[in-house]
Structure 1
Amino acid sequence: MYCYTCQSDEQHRRLTADEKSWLKNRTGRKTVEEFFMCTAPGCRNLRTGFQKHPFDPVIRVPLP
């Protein structure tokens, strides 16, 4: 998938349960199942399957 922050195609993965909980609290959304996180070193940018840039400013998942 394309990563808006890296400005290239990068591997992405679904969020873990802890990351989903964090994102729900951060955004106030009821569900965050559609989000993927960029796995490029140091990035951790979020996107959905359809939106490359769903948040402005960019939201990055914090390190565990």
Structure 2
Amino acid sequence: MPQPTELSCWTCPTNELQLHRPLTEAQKIWLRAKIDETYVEHYWMCAKPGCRNVRTYMTERSFRGTPVKIPPGID
């Protein structure tokens, strides 16, 4: 399993890199339903408290328009 890594987060109000972690199985299930994709292994979630923005490793803004954030309680 991939280890948490520091990536940029366009929804955090800072230019500093933020810790991102791979999604849990529960988060993958939620994201599949939210974005209607079957393969979500390449998504990461910002681990900064209160953020939970989702992005791919290579693309900071993975979704057009509004960001997709994993709701609290889905861990």
TM class, shorter-chain normalised? over 0.9
Unaligned runs of 5+ in 2: 1-6
> Cα RMSD between the aligned structures?
0.8
Return the index of the structure with the highest Cα Rg.
2
1:59 corresponds, among 50, 68, 72, to 68
Count of residue correspondences: 64
Matches within 5 A, 1:1-64: 1-6=7-12, 7=14, 8-55=16-63, 56-64=65-73
Unaligned runs of 5+ in 1: none
CA distance in 1, matches of 2:17, 2:66: 20
TM-score, length of structure 2 as denominator length: 0.81
